[in-house]
Chain A
Amino acid sequence: MTTLAGTIWGQLRTSHLYAVFKGPYIYFGETGHVPPVRWKGHLTSDADFIGKLKRVDPAVAFDETPIFFVGIHISVADDEPETKRKIARRAIEAELHRRFSLDPMPVSPATNLLSSSPPVPVRHQFNFNKVTVANTVYAMIADEYQKWLVRNNNDVKK
């Protein structure tokens, strides 16, 4: 039997927010590349997702619980001047952490946060509302994750 493992598309140097899930753990991040470039690090580096998980909960890090990645293209960050794009992504990333802290239920059962919120660039103004963007990103991440949970459960039952 074969199942779709996932698809990803987009221009190489573009702004993305992403989330990584494994069991009850969730990790938020940002990248200025199409996400797989960054995701590799989360599976190999001790400083990233899997490395942190090994320290926090080795049982889950090494067990067969599937890992789930979801990336969201943030075009409003790409619309910012090039020197401000990373600052813009980090502003949304910080807000995304805050959205999760205010209400983790949309991504339940992944309620344990592994990533740290970046410092908030309070002095910077952007051409977008970071709260609105983060709300949309959070809803999209939660929606994709919940759909995957249902698919994954069905696959397991089969």
Chain B
Amino acid sequence: MNTTTQTIDVHAARLCQAIARIGYEPQIALMDIVDNAVTAKASTIHISLFLAPGKTLKNRNSVQKYQVVDDGVGMTNEEIRAAFSLGANGKYAPHSLSKYGMGLKSAGLSLGNRIHIVSKKEGQLSSRQTFDVDLIAQKDAFVILVSLLSSDEVAYYGSLIPAASGTVIEIDGCESINHQSSSTTVRKLEERMGVVYASFISDAIRPLSIGIRVCAGDLPDFKLITPLDILFRDQAKAWDLATYDYVSPYLLLDEDLKLDMGDGKTIPPIRLIAVALPQDKLGGPSSPLNPDQKSLVKRYQVSRPNAGCFIYRNGRLIQWGNDLEGFLTKDEFNLRIRMDLTEEHDDVLHVDVTKQRLEIDDELLARLKRILGDPRDSAKAVMKKCTALLDKPTGIEGAAYSERSANVAEDDPEEMATGTPPEEVLLRQQEQAVEAETIKDATQNGGAGVTGGAAMLGEAPFAKIRYTDGVEYRHLWTPYRDAKEGVFVCINTHHPFYTEFMASLADNSPERLLLEALIFGAGVGQINTAGNLYEVELEDIKKVFSRFHNNCGSYLADFTSENINLLSK
């Protein structure tokens, strides 16, 4: 058979548009450009987002220019042209983050219409070369614009690259591309880069430093990214459900998955690590853990988006929280799995051009499910233990409410729009504070007649609800106002409504918290009325509230007598 070859047309502008639509979010595109800097052996990478005039962090499409500066090996003019070419020459070093030679163009064009490069190699600054989509469309050919640097530009780029080598990538023409707000981009970069590049940032021999900033007509300092092992392996304990401590990560799996290529070829095993973390609520207000333990639990940021399989390629995170085709459900959000790949696994796992997506075939998925079944079940058991602990009473009445209400305002809505309070109001508030002082000391965390213990409360917030026998007979509660901490309410532990009902409810149960909120709300109302309603004589107000409490307390006592077994029904 006779064969010939024929050249086919390439429509440059359309191809550029296609490349730009590969599907990057801005933070993913910026990290792809950071990958190139890592490949170029950079030790410092600075990312700047320059806002367009009049735009704020909260505006969409607010970035005028993205700039990524590194101190890597740099490029000559010829090497910059090669970097702009489409497709790789395949000469990447082993374990490189680069693969296809498309990252700069696809990531850059998803951010803006022009990509500029100025680089320095062996002390020699290059010209400024620009990949301009509009120019390519105009010429309908792959061309780049080469501009010699002015003396000002030499000084500017020289200041950006003070070392002997490095590269500045700038992307502008961003206004025509619909992007999330720059605050969202920066937040996602800050949240994720520490995880994505953790192994590079914490490298003992050659640590990578990544800084990020947003410039709104100014040049603020860079905020440095700190490394984060999302599995917290350095704190992980060996798995043992019997001695589970509700605070530590637990190592459920640390094994090599060996792949049989079936043709005698071998590729390195894939390391699999799984860790179960405590439920995030254990770091919250109703948790019985102490403040230090709560703060540890909060650090893990256990949530559905932060769960699943974290897939790393050559040490760089490429997939965040893969659910392995639905194998990991929403019920296992305390399970984190790490899978470490190298470029040798690209074909087996079908890693795509963005190196962000991969496909796990059915056979490998079935194996992974069998391997991860045990860790998944163990993580579920951890969740159940955490839930059971959260449902247990804390043993300190009022503590859960005090934590839960710590950020709730106690303002009098009638007074919020007024300026300095009148003298009479200030006098009344001083009187309230004096009255509160003696009660506060007597009821603070284990004072006479107060349930709960100071040691158990530890560094808990100011006690807003205090259970004490020091409340007037027949009254269920009495409110006070501390000069600094605001309102606190004493609840009568001798009142039948407390002894029969409230005391039977777990001290951190929703029912107890709602009753406490209702009582506390009434207390805030009484304190603010007595303190602020200066048009009415204070003695009259006191008479009104005394009558109110007598009636309220009597009614609740009668209601209790008539419904004595209400909670046991």
A-to-B contact residues, CB < 8 Å: 94-95, 97-98, 100-105, 108, 111, 113, 117, 119-120, 122-123, 125
Among the listed A113, A123, A125, which residue makes an inter-chain contact with B381, where contact means beta carbons less than 8 Å apart?
A123
- For window 357-390 of B, CB contacts with A under 8 Å fall at 367-368, 370-371, 373-374, 377-378, 380-381
The residue that B258 contacts in the complex, of A94, A103, A119, with Cβ under 8 A, is A103
Does B241 lie at the interface of the complex (its beta carbon under 8 Å from any beta carbon of A)?
yes
Measured between beta carbons, the chain A residues less than 8 angstroms from B256 are 102-103
The 8 closest A-B pairs by CB, nearest first: A103-B258, A101-B370, A101-B367, A120-B374, A122-B378, A101-B371, A122-B381, A122-B377
Chain A hits for B378, CB < 8 A: 120, 122
* Residue B442 is within 8 A (CB to CB) of chain A in the complex: no
Contact B373 A120 (CB under 8 A): yes
Contacts of A105 in B (CB 8 A): 258, 260
Q: What are the residues of chain B within 8 A of A125 when measuring CB–CB?
A: 240-242
Minimum CB–CB distance for A59 against chain B, Å? 20
Chain A residue contacts of B368, Cβ below 8 A: 101
Interface centre among B240, B370, B377 (most CB of A within 10 A): B370
User: Which residues of B line the A interface, CB within 8 A?
Assistant: 240-242, 255-258, 260, 269, 272, 367-368, 370-371, 373-374, 377-378, 380-381
- The residues of B that contact A108 with a CB separation of less than 8 Å are 260
| B374 partner, pick from A103, A104, A111, A122, beta carbons under 8 A | A122
Q: With A102-B256, A103-B256, A108-B260 in contact, is A97–B242 under 8 Å at CB?
A: no
Least CB distance, A86 to chain B, in whole angstroms: 18
- Nearest Cβ in chain B — how far from A146, in angstroms? 15
- Asked, given contacts A98-B370, A122-B241, A125-B242, whether A104 binds B260 with beta carbons under 8 Å apart, the answer is yes
Question: Assuming A122-B241, A122-B374, what are 10 further A-B pairs, CB within 8 angstroms?
Answer: A94-B374, A101-B257, A102-B256, A102-B367, A102-B371, A103-B257, A103-B269, A104-B258, A108-B260, A122-B378
CB–CB B377/A120 < 8 A: yes
Whether the Cβ atoms of B370 and A123 lie closer than 8 Å is no
Quote the shortest CB–CB distance from A109 to chain B (angstroms).
10
- Measured between beta carbons, the chain A residues less than 8 angstroms from B255 are 102
With beta carbons under 8 angstroms apart, the residue of B240, B241, B260, B370 that contacts A97 is B370
**Cross-chain pairs A/B with CB under 8 angstroms, 25 sampled:** A94-B374, A97-B370, A98-B370, A98-B371, A98-B374, A100-B370, A101-B257, A102-B257, A102-B258, A102-B272, A102-B367, A102-B371, A103-B269, A104-B260, A105-B258, A105-B260, A108-B260, A117-B370, A117-B373, A119-B377, A120-B374, A122-B374, A123-B241, A125-B240, A125-B241
Contacts of A104 in B (CB 8 A): 258, 260
The distance from the CB of B299 to the nearest CB of chain A, in whole angstroms, is 25
- Minimum CB–CB distance for B266 against chain A, Å: 9
Q: Separation in Å of the B276 CB from the closest CB of chain A?
A: 10
Give every chain A residue within 8 A of B374 (Cβ-Cβ).
94-95, 98, 120, 122
* A97-B370, A117-B373 known; A111+B260 contact, CB < 8 A: yes
Chain A residue contacts of B260, Cβ below 8 A: 104-105, 108, 111
Residues of B within 8 A of A100 (CB): 370
In the bound assembly, the distance between CA atoms of A133 and B371 in angstroms comes to 17
Closest Cβ–Cβ distance, residue A113 to chain B (whole Å): 8
Closest CB-CB distance, A138 to chain B, in whole Å? 13
Contacts of A102 in B (CB 8 A): 255-258, 272, 367, 371
Q: Which of B241, B256, B368, B373 has the most CB of A within 10 A?
A: B373
Most buried by B among A98, A105, A117, A119: A98
Which chain B residue lies CB-closest to A103? B258
Cβ of B371: which chain A residues have Cβ within 8 Å of it?
A: 98, 101-102
Considering the complex, give the chain B residue whose CB is closest to the CB of A108: B260
Please give the distance in Å from B376's CB to the nearest CB on chain A.
Answer: 9
Hey, which chain B residues are within 8 Å of A95, CB to CB?
374
Output the least CB separation between B260 and chain A (Å).
5
A108 to B367, CA, bound (A): 15
Question: Which residues of B sit under 8 angstroms from A122, Cβ to Cβ?
Answer: 241, 374, 377-378, 380-381
Question: Min CB distance, B143 to chain A, in Å?
Answer: 53
- How far, in whole Å, are A40 and B270 apart by their CA atoms in the complex? 39
Point out the residues of chain B lying under 8 angstroms from A97, CB to CB.
370
Minimum CB–CB distance from B348 to chain A (whole Å) comes to 15
Report the Cα distance A104→B366, complex, angstroms: 13
In the complex, what distance in Å separates the CA atom of A117 from the CA atom of B372? 11
User: Which residues of the partner chain B approach A94 to less than 8 Å between Cβ atoms?
Assistant: 373-374
Taking the nearest CB of chain B, how far is it from the CB of A19, in angstroms? 15
CA distance in complex: A98, B255 (Å): 10
Write the nearest CB–CB distance from A142 to chain B, whole angstroms: 13
